[in-house]
Structure formats: structure tokens, C-alpha cells
Structure 1
Amino acid sequence: ATHDDRVEAKAQEEIYPAIEDFLKDKNKEEAARIFTGAGLVNQPLLTVREAANCDHFLERGSLGWYDDPYYGDVFTQKTMYKMSESPPRLKHVHRPVGSDNEEIYQRVSGLSADQIRELEAKEII
């Protein structure tokens, strides 16, 4: 079968069960060894703990500690882009629930800031 044949949805209905059947009695290291030995590019799926301690991700700065203005020190995925003229930046990890509501109300519903405050005062929003 050609590559185009194998990537069709119908072919995947046969391919995925075959892969699952092949892998059911192997751990990820065994599977990687077999695939690598057969010349197949592969990468074992990492657990969160394995990824958080993976030298590759840590050395590239893909994962690390970030001092979030809302939540303090958070270990998180950082920016993955590495551009020489545009250093990566991370403004925040997670914003508090509702922190963008006013901007969304204005953009989506066309409400003014005063209208939003009036609706908030009446506990409508």
C-alpha cells in the first residue's frame, strides 16, 4: 500500500487495531527498541513526570519554573519558539476566571464599560 492509501480514514480503521494488538504485551521501551530496529522513527509517550524531568525539554527551556503574577511559582510548559531576534516571552500561565470578561462583553455584545458596570451592579452579569 502507498502512503496515501495508509493515511485514508478507512485504512486507519485497520491499522490502529493492528498496532494496538502488536503493542498490548510490550512496554514502551520494548516497543521503541523494536521500531528503532526496524528503521521506524518513533518516540515513546512520556508521562508528565518523565517529561518534567526530561533533559531535552529542560535544556531547551521548553519546561521550567515561571513566576506567574497571579499564582506565583508554577512549573509549566514555556514558549517553544527559539528565534535569535525575538526572544520568547510568557505573560502569564493562567488568568483568573473572568479576567477577560469586560473585553469580551465589549467586543462580542458591543456593551460600553458603563453598561457593563451597570449590569454588574444589578447582578445581571
Structure 2
Amino acid sequence: MSDCVFCRIVAGEIPARIILKTDTVLAFHDLNPQAPGHALVIPRRHIATLNDASESDRAILGDLMLAGAEVARILGFAESGYRTVTNCNPDGGQTVYHIHLHVLGGRRLSWPPG
């Protein structure tokens, strides 16, 4: 997807502050952090929204979650706590149409979020 900013990050065309790389996912610092620690974890393969994921994507969705936990450990807030969020479509707050997991921590997070 040549017009997808996250696909361009995966391809190395757009720089990012990388936290974690695996064969299936990439994690990097969010450019507009909403918490002291705010990372995005994306699949290397383009999937536009959670609604577009299929049964064949089950493993990659698991990889996203496990990478999110690893990112929280790397950033130092796994033990104190963190939040993972996946937004889907406009009313869910999705602005980049490449599925991604937000990992937020480093402060007490309130509920409800918004």
C-alpha cells in the first residue's frame, strides 16, 4: 500500500523511533504521545482495520498483543500497568487505516478514556 504511512515506515521510507522489530510486527514511538510512554505496534503486512482481519490473521493478531507486552517491558511500565487500544473506523477513532495497537503507560490512566 504505497499511500499507507505505516506501510512506508515498514519499508523504511519514513523514519520512526523503532522500539521492537520481529518478522511479523514493528513497534515504534507515537509522534503525538498521549501518555509519557506511547508506542504503536503494527503488523508488517497491511491490514486496514480489525474488521478486515480474517481467520488467517489470527497469529498476527496474537503477535501484536505479545509485542505490546514486550514494548511495555522495554519502556519500563509493564509492572506498574499500561493500556492497549485498537481503534476501528471513524467512530472508533481510527485515523490511520493500517491496524495498530496503541501501548500507553508511564502514568495512571483514567477510565473511561473518552
TM-score (norm 1): 0.20
| More strand as a share of residues | 2
TM-score (norm 2): 0.22
Higher relative contact order (CA 8 A, sep 6+): 2
| More helix as a share of residues | 1
